Every structure is written in C-alpha cells, then in structure tokens.
Structure 1
C-alpha cells in the first residue's frame, strides 16, 4: 500500500484554506490545519475531516514566526511521518489608498504576507519530500489594479516572485512550486466591509457572472497538489475570466 501523503495548510481554519484542507483530505491526504488564533474553527475543520473518514490535526502558529512554523512541520512529521504538500493560504488584507494607508498596518500585513511566505517556504523547501508540491497564494488584484489595494497587491507581487524563484531553486527535487491567484471569492476576508451593491457589481464582472466559491479555489489547489506535475513556477489566475 502506498504511503499516505501529508499536507500542511496554513490559514486552514476558514475560507479558502478551510475548503482546501477538506478537499485535500477527500483526495486521501492526512492534513495539518494551521490557524493563527482561531483554534475553535481549526478544530471544527479537523472534526469535519475526521467525520468523513479522513485524518487531520490542528496546529496554531504565527506564519511569520520561524520557530512556530518549524514546530508545525515537526508535529506533521511526528504524527504522520513527513510532509508532501504545503498550501500557504494564511494572509492579511488591509485596504486604503496609498496616500492614506497606515504604515504600521502596512508593516503588519507585509509581515504576514511576505515574511510569512518566506518562513513557510523555508521549512517547505527543507522538509517537503521529493515529489511534493508547494502552493502559495497571490491575488488577481495584481492584474486588476483596483484602487485601495496597493499595499495588499504589493505583498502578493512579492509572493509571485518568491514562487517562481523557489521553483527554480528546487531543481532536481521533483517538487513543484506554484501560486493560486483568486479573483473575488465569497469569503469573510472579501465580504467584510463591502455593501451589497459593491458585492453585486464585483460578482457581475467575470464572464461567468458570479463570485467564486472557496470550493472553486480548492479545486485548483487539489489539481496543483496532485496530478499537475508538469505545472511549475506558475501563477494560476482562478477568477472566472475577470482578468
């Protein structure tokens, strides 16, 4: 019998991360659901996976804290024997025009989104088993260039650069490194602070005329984590054709 593959999913307690964790479990992987602080939601994700016959554990870590992230990988190896897939979905989003963006908020967002990608990527590069996959998260806002998103988009531009370079640095390991760039997706991160008119307008923009669902993005994660062995160093824009 083939050894069970093991996935670590940061930001796995809610939204796209939660759907990705549950989808990878349905694909047959053991999953470590990583949260920043909402342990109740992380435990609920674990319960949903185990209720469906899967294997999962919850872990808490600030993704920008290298010791905390190393401890998550230690636990995955101790519980499940190794790590094959890392899905780095944890992120912060603070919106404001560039001229008005609070610089402390910018620093905090970039600590999570850029330093966090480095920290998670370092452990993944050192510890993912040959034949594995590393999946980061960008955003389709990079192409859309929506006012108010400069700080967030800048952080995700960094993620795309890191993704391509890490893919090349892992030459010879048979490890793919890709990023997923969702468009407007019906998660609390996207919906919070927007009125119904704004949400309806954004939902009408893609040719498919709807918001994405977290499950739509989880499908792409599943593809990159499993059969998509010839896709490497790419950013997949999962946005319904918006850009």
Structure 2
C-alpha cells in the first residue's frame, strides 16, 4: 500500500492481530496485492470458515485491472467497483438509504468495503448483514482493498446470496456489485433493483401525477367504448391471431 495511507489500531484489531486502514485519510494508489488478499481471507477463515473455499476457488473475471483516476479503484469487466474520485462521498450516499436510528441493516455487495465501514460508524447499529453477490468479485476486491476493518467488527455477519431468500430491509447496496451479480444471486439482485426503483415508479405513475391523470381523462371515452375481448372468442377457430397496443411514446408517433 502507498505511504499516503494512514493506519490506526483498535482493541479488536489487537485481538485479531489486524492493523486497520484509516478511511478518513483515503488517498494514494492501490495495487493488486496477493498478501493483502490473504490477510483479508485469513480473517474470513477465522470468522466464517464455511465461506473460505467459495472465495478461494472463485473463477477469475474476464477483465481485471486498476483505473487511472484520482482515487484508483478496481475495474471488473468494464465496471468500476467504486468511485474513482470520491469513494467516501459515494459510500455516504449509498448508506443514506438506511435510517440513522436503525439497529440492523443489510448491505448487498461488498464493493471496495467503504459502504460497510460507513454504516459501522453509527453507534446505534447493532448488526450488519453483508451479502456476497459474486464470490469472484469479492475475491478480486480482497486483493486490492483492505477489508479487515469491517470484517473484524463483531457486529458484522457475512453471507452469500443463496442464504438470503427474500429482500431484507433496511438495506443499502453497491451498484457495481448488483451489475456483476452471479446467476445464483439474480433473483435477489432483481428484488433490490425493484425496491430501489419503486419510489421513482410511484412518483411517475401514482394518482398524484397530474400529467398521468390528464392522459387517463383524455382516453376515458375510448376505454368506455372499447369492447370486451370475449366478443372475439370462437370466431376464428384453428387460426392464429395477434394483438397490439402502444404506450405513451408510441401514441405520440402514431
């Protein structure tokens, strides 16, 4: 790690023989480091031994490298794992989805580790469940970022997506990890995406949307005159049929 990194020790770190990264002084370069990967995995081995084989044997990703940005980060298959310019601000924005007074939270995706660290600064938080959405992404991140601070925190529990059947709340998510989720995590990833999109959908399609109400009123007469589909039954036996309809964008065109 670069000389610009600052480190601090805590009592928990001493118990686990771990030196922690001071995230308040996050500058300088990162590098792909096998020793750092092993240090992270050693801590996983101590706390969650059932996960170690999964992480150690995770297949390598297609594209794998560091970005040439103000704050270098890891790029996996063309997707940056975190911001290349202000990782801490990005993590704070993601963490804002979790209410300040929450005693428990869920994090979907490990990312660079900034999101778990940000949430663990809250003294009201008693338990943090961190979900691995892709073991290969987690293994790659362990080789570039020092995750030992949050891995060693006794409030943290590390899980795989297969262990989580339904979306849990309150939660925060690492966008890059959602995009890089493995197939086994696809359902959970989709639930997270849907939940994140729900406020926008409600705003755009709710009864309080004046533009939507206006469009409905404009088409009310057409809807009332539209016949029942049952009138088409038994009229063309043995033949193929098709139906078509258009949304608001198509209505403007036609």
Same topology, TM > 0.5? no
Report the TM-score when normalising by structure 1.
Answer: 0.29
Of structures 1 and 2, the one scoring higher in RCO (CA 8 A, sep 6+) is 1
Report the TM-score when normalising by structure 2.
Answer: 0.28
